Amino acid sequence: MSDASRTLPLEGLKVLELGQLIAGPFATKLLGEFGADVIKIEPPGTGDPLRKWRILEEGTSLWWHVQSRNKRSVALDLRSPEGQALVRQLASEADVVVENFRPGTLDGWNLGWKTLSTLNPGLIMVHVSGYGQTGPYRDKPGFGVIGEAMGGLRYLTGHPGEPSVRVGVSIGDSLSALYAVIGTLLALQERHKSGLGQEIDVALHESVFAMMESLLPEFDATGQIREPGGSALPGITPSNAYRCEGDEYVLIAGNGDSIFKRLMGVIGRPDLAEDPALAHNDGRSRQARMIDDAIEAWTRTRPRDAILKTLDDARVPAGYPYTAKDIASDPHYIAREMIQTFTRESGEPLKVPGVLPKLSATPGRLGNGGPRLGQHTEDVLDELGIDQDTRAKLRAAGII
């Protein structure tokens, strides 16, 4: 079945995106991949700053074609009363509004929850911000990297005694987007019962903090502050990066009890496999350095690919750090359709990530790349019934 003829689970859902850059737009991107009609409001003339982030081709960020696919772009000045009136009209017909402005910004434009929910009681409004809609920090500006730091992740990344490093992608924004989508789907389910919408409040730092596993209860119960572990996963042994022949690395996760025994057999250390003190993770973690040294004594003398073949045969989880080149040519990525290609307006093909999650009956769509700025303004104004004279005045004033 072609993408165009598929039934999509969110068909008929109208989503209005107010915001820019990463967290909010990533959430609407996910909704759009499963059939939602996403109308993205952008400032006339400049558009979303993401259009100019990282590597550009044909004047547009290559990232744009991932972040904004399946959206309709409307160029509209949110700071003008006329633009705000049009947004209120759009929101009155929408199912979901997703916004990631600083808390209070939309209220100042008469586009806040009280205003929009009065116009549309069934509306679901998703707020994504640095610190949430309440609390003493609500008015502070917040980006993903700050959320990652406050959420506890930044302190743990890097090697002991060295400055912390950031994850190489905007993980705080992306995690927040996932929570925003989960909240949206939960609110839609509840609306089936009550007929009413609600607000969803997602904070970047909380989205990261929620991923921090036992960080807080360990501190509360024992007073211990988890420290950075470099390439290892402290307290879970063995799970680390090990140097191979030729200064390459393999990642080995031998922390399951039976897996550990198989791994020790492979590296020629049956004594460690049968040591009762190392039978379970707590005992192994107390001797993590000794175990890691034993494993690396074996990996150092072997090429990476040979190590991976041996460990695969022994059913020991192992891999190596993939680059973009590795991903693009990997047969498993290709077989699972996670490397997709679409054709840009110039006719040039572009590889982009596939759609997740994978649904058996109603899978998502790749669709088109990111729209041109204002590409769908006229279509959306048609749907709102805005006459041509009014449009001409809005255009002359720079509002559309």
What would the CATH number be for the domain defined by 239-319? Answer: 3.30.1540.10
Domain spans, the chain: 3-210+335-396, 239-319
Per-residue pLDDT of the chain (400 residues; tens, 9 = 90+): 445 566 899 999 999 999 999 999 999 999 999 999 999 999 999 999 999 999 999 889 999 999 999 999 999 999 999 999 999 999 999 999 999 999 999 999 999 999 999 999 999 999 999 999 999 999 998 888 899 999 999 999 989 989 888 888 999 999 999 999 999 999 999 999 999 999 999 999 999 999 999 999 999 999 999 999 989 888 999 999 999 999 899 999 999 999 999 999 999 999 999 999 999 999 999 999 999 999 999 999 999 999 999 999 999 999 999 999 999 999 999 999 999 999 988 889 999 999 999 999 999 999 888 999 999 999 999 999 999 999 999 999 999 9
**Which of these is catalytic: 37, 77, 173, 201?**
173
Cα separation, 148 vs 171, whole angstroms: 8
Beta bridge partners of 318: 252
How would you class 10 by CB atoms within 10 Å of its CB: exposed for 0-12, middle for 13-18, buried for 19 or more? buried
Would you call 249 helix, strand, or coil by DSSP?
A: strand
What CA–CA distance (Å, rounded) separates 21 from 53? 9
Topology annotation, domain 3-210+335-396: Rossmann fold (3.40.50)
- Residue 173 bears catalytic tag: yes
Report the predicted TM-score, pTM, of the whole model to 2 decimal places: 0.93
Q: Rounded CA gap, 364 and 7, in Å? A: 9
